[in-house]
């Protein structure tokens, strides 16, 4: 997939995206904050958040129920892409590459809201629209 810009810099046929979270620690307030983060990012970037798929099982399988649901949603004709708060939501490093491959195989874009970790310098990401940070949401890395 080429390095296209997101909606505010070029027209897109469809602006619907689907969120994906891996939420195995924390309570309802944390989950709500993560969903709110995705919704706010989408609002700021003229995207429509069509739904959020959440895995709650600490064991990460490449084909978990919520991730398979996300892939199914990405196959819809009006789907633009998947949005995650951080790459860590796709799972541990050994799983991230395969999940990224599966997302892009659907011709959907992968949008990463938070590309900067607590101890990392900013890294430009062609899949991220900005340096948007989820206020009040601390991401737990795998």
The CATH number linked to 94 is 3.40.50.1390
Residue 135 domain flag: no
> Maximum CA pair distance of the chain?
39
Kindly report, residue by residue over 31-43, the tens digit of the pLDDT: 999 999 999 999 9
How far is Cα 99 from Cα 69, in angstroms, rounded to an integer? 13
134 has a pLDDT exceeding 60: yes
57 vs 12: which has the higher pLDDT: 57
- The pLDDT score that the predictor gives to residue 106 is 94
Is 44 contained in some domain?
yes
Token readout for 95 is 């799983």
Instruction: Domain count for the chain, please give it.
Output: 1
Spatial distance between the Cα atoms of 129 and 138, rounded to a whole number of angstroms = 20
- Tokens 């649901």 label which residue? 69
Q: Is residue 105 part of a domain?
A: yes
**Above 80 in pLDDT, residue 94?**
yes
pLDDT band at 137 (very low <50, low <70, confident <90, very high): very low
Range of the domain at 69: 14-112
- Taking the C-alpha atoms of residue 47 and residue 41, their distance in angstroms, rounded to an integer, is 8
128 in any annotated domain: no
> Predicted confidence band at 15 (pLDDT cuts at 50, 70, 90)?
confident
């Amino acid at each position: 997939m080429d390095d296209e810009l997101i909606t505010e810099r070029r027209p897109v046929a469809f602006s619907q995206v689907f969120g994906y979270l891996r939420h195995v620690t924390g309570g309802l307030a944390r989950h709500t904050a993560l969903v709110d983060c995705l919704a706010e990012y989408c609002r700021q970037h003229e995207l429509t958040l069509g739904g959020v798929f959440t895995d709650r099982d600490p064991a990460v399988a490449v084909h978990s129920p919520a991730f398979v649901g996300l892939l199914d949603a990405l196959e819809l004709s009006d789907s633009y892409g998947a949005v995650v708060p951080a790459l860590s939501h796709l799972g541990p490093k050994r799983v991230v590459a395969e999940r990224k491959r599966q997302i892009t195989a659907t011709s959907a874009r992968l949008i990463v809201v938070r590309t900067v970790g607590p101890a990392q310098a900013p890294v430009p990401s062609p899949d991220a629209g900005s340096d948007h940070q989820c206020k009040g949401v601390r991401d737990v890395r795998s």
